[in-house]
Amino acid sequence: MAKPRNTIAKTEILNLIEQSDKALSHSEIQQHLSGLCDRVTIYRVLDRLYEEGLIHKTSTIDGVVKYAACIKCTPEKHYHSHLHFNCESCHKVICLVDVKPIFKLSEDYIVREMNFMLSGICPECA
């Protein structure tokens, strides 16, 4: 298997996501990059970072995809059984990694991916 390439765009996008205290949308990432690369390149880099187990994605209640850094994921398995909080006021999406959802599902289901989204007002906006 070929070693993944590290480009300037990939490095900058990963650094941006890892340093952010909130999940970022494609357009937010594009704004922060100030013309470093085009929107298609950003999508490609985001897909590659996801495939490499470095970032995860979630959808807001409005359907906007946001990206955040992975903590203990691998290319084979993403571990995102934590909640995400979508603030209706400032529109931040925050990973709540210390809060674990509890649900019971029949054994005949095979879960491959989960997306837990709570919506309301964050502490900064309350």
**Domain assignment present for 95:** yes
What angle, 0 to 180 degrees and rounded to 10, lies between the N-to-C axes of helices 26-33 and 8-19? Answer: 110
Task: Name all contacts of 30-39 with Cβ < 8 Å and 24+ positions apart.
Answer: 33/9, 36/8, 36/9, 36/12, 37/9
pLDDT band at 123 (very low <50, low <70, confident <90, very high): very high
Whether pLDDT at 39 is above 60: yes
User: Tokens for 4?
Assistant: 């993944």
53-79 pLDDT, tens digit per residue, is 899 888 888 888 999 888 766 666 666
Residue 18 within a domain? yes
Looking at residue 5, what DSSP letter applies? P
Q: Cα 70 to chain center, whole Å?
A: 8
Is residue 103 included in any domain, yes or no? yes
Task: Determine, yes or no, domain membership for 70.
Answer: yes
Residues 30 and 65 sit within 8 Å (Cβ to Cβ): no
Residue 32 lies in a domain: yes
Check which CATH number belongs to the domain holding 30 and give it.
1.10.10.10
Q: How many domains does the chain have?
A: 1
pTM of the model: 0.74
Residue 2 lies in a domain: no
Residues spanned by the domain of 107: 8-120
pLDDT of residue 80: 64
